[in-house]
Amino acid sequence: MRRSHRGKFVALAALLATAGGLVWWNQRPKPIGNDEQAERVLVVPAANWRYKPYLEKWGFVAQEGRLKTMVDELHEKLPEAKEDGPAAVLKLADWAGFAFVAFEDPAALDFGGLDIEGGVPTFEKHHRFAVVSAGDYAFPHKLTVNAEPSKFMNGPELDLLSALFAQEPLASTLRDDPKNGPDIIVLRTKVQEGIDAIDAIKAAEATVAKIADKARALLVDKEQADPKPTLVGGVQESVHPIALADGGILLLTRKANFSSSTGFNADLELDRTEQFFYIPAGADPVEGRVPCTGLLGGSLEVSGRVLLVRNSPQGDALLLHDGGRSRLFKLGSGGCNFSELGEITVPIPRGDNPGEPHASGRVARVYDDNGESAVSLVKPGDQVASDLVRTSKLSLSLPVWLDDQVLVGTGRDTIADGTGAYRQALFFYAADRPDTALRIDAQNFDAADGLASVAWVPPGPQGARLLVQAWSSGGGERLFRVDAPAPAAKLFADAVSAADKTPTSAEVRDGMEPRIIPIDTRDWTFTPILNEFETYDAAVSPDGRLVAFSSDSEIHVVLLAGGPVRTLTRNELQDHTPMFTADSKTVLFRTRFPIEKTNWTLSTARTVPAGE
């Protein structure tokens, strides 16, 4: 018996006046060795992880060692000791004056034979630590486990701290109780850094909750449009939406993992796994979300920094490019039922666009380097891409598919004309007619100086249609509807046939240069439908009635026939990339919004009725 306990033994003996009480006391397990102090902790790690520096930073006095090392030390210090396992460590802690022993991975240990208050609990998966009281704080032992880790501030050292502060008297230091005695006040002073760490976890939870609330307010409450857009994605995930040909919506999502080192500021990291979800046509955009197991089983482990996603305007083909690997998918029937057409093994330079996919199983690509520009087609299994045109006299952009054979894109001459300007034009390509292209000069667009982009439009009554963004130095940007006099394949064949009959000097080929045929546009119409807006991401509804576009970070619609513009969003966020659902009744788009207390922005998905 140690000297420091004689006083309490005498006092207790006086209280235990009955013989039975004295027998109980004499048979009671007694503390040994040094005085226990609540800030003294012995740690038994399960792996090569050092917890001592953390505990000392938080004001504790700590030692750590593996289980076998602790048991061997007990038998060295107290040769008469017979205990083994956790019981041996607890006796060593008692002898050395440690009030608590923290066992990592308690589910792997045998606590049988210990007198634990309430019995040994069932350890849950998240119980990384069990803390057991020792010495004066035992008899019986109290066993506490860590709370479920915070999603936003976590780590094994914090699990240890959580399990420790569930023990008395450490738990008392967390309570602002006027009945706390001087010993608790002194203890609180010693472990104040640990208390601050516990408080920081709570603050982190509150901070992230506040971040989520403010993001939701930006996306919902502060939206001034009527009707307000409906939020499809969450505020704690990055969402890439795609309107599918079957009427549903595909969501590619990456969870945003928030963290906080202080509890006041926050950071986030996007999950490495891309999850695929599907919202059936007509389903609630939130409650109706289901896993899209028809696409790679429902998820993809992203190896690159960003997963590049390209989809056909019709929503029936999808290209996923990750870490230099491109995979092509075609949508079938039955709800998010994708079939993988194969991997595109022909590489692209880092940072290049992986291409424009088509449900026929081909992908259009553009190449522009070392003085040459090329538009090519590639499909799964190809060893090399098949050039449609390759030229040193033109700089070509990525084309869009008009049908399963004909594509169209913008381009310009690489040599300036007499005025120092570069002539710009539309170029048509046909998969079955390589080394030939049709050309429509920008002058057809009310003498425009250049052409910025081209978008697919459903065929009209007479034939193919396009949506072209043109610009001029004096008149700004304008959006044109282009109506061809025949379907795309026929107009291509007719133009080639006419050129074969009446060749012109413009068709004379120079060495290996492709054949460029000017189109006779007398039967074509070029109708300006939008003059006053700087437009981006223009998309046409499947029924060919409406055009959606982004301008000034808002989403707008206008009739393809022309008319007044209707603004569908009114907020201080960045709305972009609109597209129509298959029934043409809803506009689906992305919204980029800031994450408070971080330097991050995330993109989510929203929908809004397209209107009449």
Q: Is residue 296 part of a domain?
A: no
SS3 460: coil
Task: Measure the CA–CA gap between 472 and 452, rounded to whole angstroms.
Answer: 10
Q: Quick check: helix, strand or coil at residue 408?
A: strand
Query: What is the structure's pLDDT at 14?
Result: 35
Q: Is residue 92 part of a domain?
A: yes
Tell me phi and psi for residue 201, to 5 degrees: -65, -45
Residue 485 CA to residue 125 CA, distance in Å, equals: 68
The token pair that represents 298 in the structure block: 């429902």
432, 435, 441, 442: CA torsion to nearest 10? 80
510 part of a folded domain:
no
Q: How many domains does the chain have?
A: 1
Pair of tokens at residue 4: 């420091």
Q: Tell whether 253 is covered by a domain.
A: no
What is the biggest distance separating any 2 CA atoms in the chain, rounded to whole angstroms?
Answer: 127
**If you ran DSSP here, which 8-state letter would residue 4 be given?**
G
- In a domain, residue 294? The reply is no
Tell whether 356 is covered by a domain: no
- Residue 117 falls within a domain, yes or no? yes
Burial per residue of 138-148, b for 16 or more beta-carbon CB atoms within 10 angstroms, e otherwise: beebbbbbbee
Asked if the structure places residue 63 within a domain, the reply is yes
Q: Pairing mode, if any, of strands 515-518 and 436-441?
A: parallel
Q: What is the mean pLDDT of each run of 10 residues along the chain (612 residues)?
A: 36 34 33 77 90 96 95 94 95 95 97 94 96 93 95 87 97 88 94 93 84 90 95 91 96 85 73 93 90 93 86 96 92 92 92 93 92 95 96 96 96 84 94 96 93 95 95 86 96 93 58 89 95 89 97 96 95 96 97 86 95 80
Query: Residue 433: what pLDDT?
Result: 94
- The length of the chain, given as a count of residues: 612
Comparing C-alpha atoms, which of 28, 583, 600, 592 is closest to residue 266?
Answer: 600
pTM: 0.74
Range of the domain at 127: 31-190
3-state secondary structure of 281: coil
